[in-house]
Amino acid sequence: MNQISINLLPRKQRKQRFNKVFILPILIAFILLIAAVFVLQWSKNEELSILESRLEQAEQEKLLLEQQNAVSEPSGGITDLESAITFMEDYPIPTVEVLDYLTELLPERGFFESFQYTDTGLITLTVQFDLSREAAFYLHQLEQSDRVAEASLQSMVTEEIDTEAAGTEEILPRYIAQYTVMLNKQTFREGDELE
């Protein structure tokens, strides 16, 4: 007699094979991925260290070139010369020279009452004249001068002087004009060098 055995439970071996077939490739792919990440990280670190060494070498070469340039430049140097030129351009013109020049332009009977001069080249003048046309003449002289960049008549007032103390009863007018003058520093200096 033959016995027949009936097993109603599914076979376990097939299930294990099914799991091995899917899990094993995923596990291998994961290991390969981790290995690739480590290899990439290592190569990037190597590139970074090479770049850092090149940067350090370039900085050392730059420092060496700067030292060589500092030794080869004369002690006066170009920067010293440029700063000296800038200083001379900004240096104010001596007041005596300015006053002498402005006095030369005055008519015979013109007299300074006040004089204010700033180092920027701006001058405020108050001048006394015997005739009103002398004030206009002086303004014209200032405007025509190559040493004056700009000139303007700000105000003009008449002042009457009683000459009784001098023995006459005549009243003489005096004209007080106020001017604003901006010097042309460059041409003023060039004019001084030519003289």
pLDDT of residue 127: 93
User: Among residues 179, 138, 122, 171, which one has the least CA distance to residue 155?
Assistant: 179
pLDDT of residue 39 exceeding 60, the answer is yes
pLDDT of residue 195: 46
Structure tokens belonging to residue 58 = 């370039």
Rounded CA gap, 57 and 158, in Å? 81
pLDDT tens digit sequence for 89-129: 666 677 788 888 889 999 888 899 999 988 778 899 999 99
pLDDT tens digit sequence for 125-184: 999 998 889 999 999 999 999 888 999 999 999 887 766 655 666 667 889 999 999 988
Every domain of the chain and the residues it spans: 14-72, 93-194
- Lateral strand order in the sheet of 171-183: 111-117, 122-129, 171-183, 148-162
Identify the three-state secondary structure at position 94.
coil
pLDDT band at 5 (very low <50, low <70, confident <90, very high): confident
The separation between CA 71 and the C-alpha centre of its own chain, rounded to angstroms, equals 29
pLDDT of residue 4: 76
User: Among residues 118, 123, 120, 117, which one has the least CA distance to residue 89?
Assistant: 120
The mean pLDDT of the chain is: 80
Percent of the chain residues past pLDDT 70, beyond the cut: 71
pLDDT of residue 3: 75
pLDDT of residue 77 exceeding 70, the answer is no
Q: For the domain 93-194, what is the CATH code?
A: 3.30.1360.100
pLDDT of residue 99: 86
State how beta strands 111-117 and 122-129 pair. antiparallel
pLDDT of residue 152: 92
Please work out, in degrees rounded to the nearest 5, the angle formed at the alpha carbon of residue 76 by the alpha carbons of 72 and 81: 120
DSSP letter assigned to residue 182: E
Higher per-residue pLDDT: 55 or 72:
55
pLDDT band at 84 (very low <50, low <70, confident <90, very high): low
Rounded CA gap, 194 and 140, in Å? 24
Rounded CA gap, 62 and 50, in Å? 18
Rounded CA gap, 13 and 129, in Å? 129
Rounded CA gap, 177 and 134, in Å? 10
Rounded CA gap, 22 and 50, in Å? 43
Please work out, in degrees rounded to the nearest 5, the angle formed at the alpha carbon of residue 121 by the alpha carbons of 154 and 131: 35
Rounded CA gap, 19 and 9, in Å? 18
